[in-house]
Structure 1
């Protein structure tokens, strides 16, 4: 994957500094470290009537995307089938990374096996193929359209937005 394009996001009223002041733009590697190490993620979907739906999920960064699984009939799965645009945020509110992208339920065997290995490695679990059985569970891949991060130690000088092509 090519390095995403980094810019300073427009944050009126927050006193953010120009991109070349303060910490400056954060490198994508800073965001990747947090996406790989976050234990929990906050997943935001939208109900068909427009109400927000927010739930914690376990997720892994794999193959240039965030992946998670859920019961096939869970509200979040119903929501993303109706509107696949979702946001996921890491569990550290002081140094957050937020990803927005389109969610896709994945069902090919090779991808499901790779996701299962990644989950078991990251979380120290011993889940078997039942976790990725498409008859009972949805395995979801979210490829970022954009991501946002900031380092609390330099709130005004670190906000960075990464855009993916």
Structure 2
């Protein structure tokens, strides 16, 4: 069930990273496939993922502020420093969200291997 929710609408996820024992949470676009989440990012989220690969994602669909469903994922991030893989992932994610395929060209692929997931529908 969680997989079907994650593959549905192009909603925002919130990626939680940690460095020096402090959390950092930021909104991201994502793509879920084969028990893995792809995110292309830069800046603090990327740097934190390099230092500490333990991450969490929270995804929620709502209508006018009323939650319809939520999924929480805990996993291990892998920064993929391969330009071809990053370009392909960026295009897949941009397509999901209806953006220009070449938008966010300076971002790097972070692949999250999901360790556990929980979900709830309302």
Question: Which of 3, 6, 11 does residue 39 from structure 1 map onto?
Answer: 11
Q: CA deviation at 1:63?
A: 4.3
Maintained 8 Å contact 1:62/1:115 = no
Question: Which of 147, 150, 161 does residue 117 from structure 2 map onto?
Answer: 147
TM-score of the two chains, using structure 1 as the length reference = 0.62
Matched, 1:54 2:25: yes
Alpha-carbon distance between aligned partners in 2 of 1:39 and 1:52, rounded to the nearest angstrom? 22
Matches within 5 A, 1:1-165: 30-36=1-7, 37-48=9-20, 50-71=21-42, 74-92=43-61, 93-128=67-102, 131=105, 136-152=106-122
CA RMSD of aligned residues (A): 2.0
Maintained 8 Å contact 2:90/2:109 = no
Maintained 8 Å contact 1:45/1:52 = yes
Q: Would you identify which runs of 4 or more consecutive aligned residues in structure 1 move more than 2 Å?
A: 91-94, 107-114
Maintained 8 Å contact 1:67/1:115 = yes
TM-score of the two chains, using structure 2 as the length reference = 0.81
Structure 1: tracts of 5 or more residues without a match: 1-29, 153-165
Considering fraction of residues, name the structure with more strand. Answer: 2
Structure 2: tracts of 5 or more residues without a match: 62-66
Alpha-carbon distance between aligned partners in 1 of 2:92 and 2:34, rounded to the nearest angstrom? 10
Q: CA deviation at 1:112?
A: 2.3
Q: CA deviation at 1:55?
A: 0.8
The structure with the larger Rg is 1
